[in-house]
Amino acid sequence: MHARIWTVRTTATAAALTFVAALPVATAHADTAATTTTAVRTQSVDYYTWLRDVAAVVAEARPYIEQRTADPSGEKQAIVLDIDNTSLETHFHPFWELPTPAIAQMRDLARYADSRGVAVFFVTARPGIIHSLTDWNLKKTGYPVDGLYVRDLPDLFDEVSAYKTEKRAEIEAKGYTIIANIGNNTTDLVGGHAERTFKLPDYDGQLS
């Protein structure tokens, strides 16, 4: 009888120990899974991974700009940049802490283009009410700014991609050849009016 109880207790204890031993592991797995899911679905994009991914695109864009500006033949050349998470590290800094830092590699690319005689235009879906603030932020963080397009009231009714395309067409109408259009969302890049597009990561729309 005693023996049987002991056996039962031992078995129960062993089962409990197994359960307890397994618990942290299971929890750890669950946490990892949750973190991974969060990273994919919400705002946990890893900053350093993002910077590396941005660097890979800049590494393609720079030699292209170098080659494309080697002989401008009197052409007025321009590049167009999106702002949030293309020029400024918007996703990774609270909006109330200003200025929002530049993405250093992109600022260097913009300065390089500027040094090669290329005009640097910004086309953003930001509303007109923060035009001055955005202009100040870009300049304060070291960007050359030849033009900044924000969404004015009538533009707010356009699809973002249609609005951005329209602004590139306006830049072209001023006599510029847009040699590169750089953005992190597809809506920054579709619609033509640029010789080449460069897409930075948005991780399935997580980065605006």
CB of 130 to Mg ion, least distance (A): 15
When the beta carbons of 77 and 84 are compared against Mg ion, the nearer one is 84
Does the footprint of Mg ion cover residue 124 (CB under 5 A)?
no
Which residue's Cβ lies closest to Mg ion? Answer: 84
**11/186 with CB nearer Mg ion:** 186
- 172, 159 Cβ separation under 8 angstroms: no
Q: How many residues bind Mg ion (CB under 5 A)?
A: 5
Phi (first) and psi of residue 181, to 5 degrees: -120, 120
CB 187 within 8 A of CB 87: no
- How far apart CA 50 and CA 32 sit, in angstroms, is 20
d(CA 25, CA 107): 44
Q: How many other CB atoms are found less than 10 A from the CB of residue 111?
A: 14
Q: Could you tell me the smallest distance in angstroms from the CB atom of residue 88 to Mg ion?
A: 9
Kindly state whether residue 85 participates in binding Mg ion, applying the rule CB under 5 A. yes
- Please identify which residue in 68, 184, 187, 198 interacts with Mg ion, judged by CB under 5 A: 184
Nearest approach, Cβ of 34 to Mg ion (angstroms)? 27
Q: Segment contacting Mg ion (CB under 5 A): 75-83, 95-103, 107-115, 135-143? A: 75-83
100 binds Mg ion (CB under 5 A): no
Q: Is 158 exposed, middle or buried (0-12, 13-18, 19+ CB in 10 A)?
A: middle
The pair of three-digit structure tokens given for residue 60, joined into one six-digit string = 């393609």
Binding residues (CB under 5 A) for Mg ion: these are 82, 84-86, 184
